[in-house]
Amino acid sequence: MIKNVYLGHGGYGQPIYLRRDGTVSEQAEEERQRPSWDETFMAVAEVMARRSTCDRAQVGAVAVLGQRLIAEGYNGALAGMPHCDEVGHDMLDGHCVRAVHAEQNLVTQNVDLSGATVYTTHSACWPCFRLLVAAGVDEIVYRVPYRQDEDTTRIAAVVNASVKRGFRIIQLRRYKGR
Ligand SMILES: [Zn+2]
Ligand SMILES: [Zn+2]
């Protein structure tokens, strides 16, 4: 059987192969499942989310700088305090307020987040968004739009204002990977 024929490398260092059917592939068959950086870091955020003990929102977040993981967090009760899955939720205005949010736990790891990208499984609430901006985070990449409420409006207002004023406070991006 004739194998794919290696032709060389493309502009991004990707191997280019001539397939048996005569078409050109820019990725070897065996490399096709290799995750992109976006997919890699979102996958780590999802593993962090699985540690969350409030099943109303299992949220995970990781901070990345120059393709390196520098901090991580998940939605969970204060250290040493009972978890929601042990004692039930602590509800206020329709939200469980026991857990320290994933982004808050990430920021309190005391790592310099200037210029970092934060991958979160769920879009940030207003207090977390505010905290990430204040910490110097450059970009937030989220998978699930968690809330559509006044928090979303406040966040959009900040993002739009920063565009209008000609400097970027923070960039928001919805995750498009697998
Ligand atoms: Zn809870
Ligand atoms: Zn939050």
What pLDDT was estimated at residue 28?
A: 54
User: CA quadruple 26, 27, 33, 38: dihedral positive or negative?
Assistant: negative
What pLDDT was estimated at residue 69?
A: 97
Low-confidence stretches of the chain (pLDDT < 50) are none
Q: Is 103 annotated as catalytic?
A: yes
Ligand nearest to the CA of 77: 1
Q: What protein residues have CB closer than 5 angstroms to ion ligand 2? A: 101, 125, 128
The string of DSSP letters for 24-36 reads: EESS-GGGTTPPP
Q: What is the pLDDT of residues 79-105, one digit of tens each?
A: 899 999 889 999 998 888 999 999 999
Torsion of CA 81, 128, 178, 66, to 10 degrees: -100
* Separation of CA 166 and ligand 1 centre (Å): 40
pTM above 0.85, yes or no: no
* Separation of CA 151 and ligand 2 centre (Å): 10
What pLDDT was estimated at residue 16?
A: 81
What pLDDT was estimated at residue 125?
A: 93
What pLDDT was estimated at residue 60?
A: 97
